[in-house]
Amino acid sequence: RKIDPVLKYLKNARNADNHSIQEITEITPHTTKINLLGGSGHIDRMVTINGKVTEYRGDPIKIVYSPGKVEIKPFTNRQLIYNIPEYHKGKKLKNSKNPIELGEIAIEYYENFLNDVEEKFWYFRRIKFFYYK
Q: Which regions of the chain does DSSP assign to beta strands (E)? A: 25-28, 31-36, 43-49, 52-58, 61-66, 69-72, 75-77, 80-82, 87-88, 91-92
Amino acid present at 32: T
Amino acid present at 24: I
pLDDT single digits (tens) 94-120: 888 999 999 999 999 999 999 988 888
Residue 127 is predicted with a pLDDT of: 61
Residue 102 is predicted with a pLDDT of: 93
β-pair partners for 56: 46
pLDDT single digits (tens) 25-75: 999 998 888 899 988 888 899 998 887 889 999 999 998 989 899 999 999
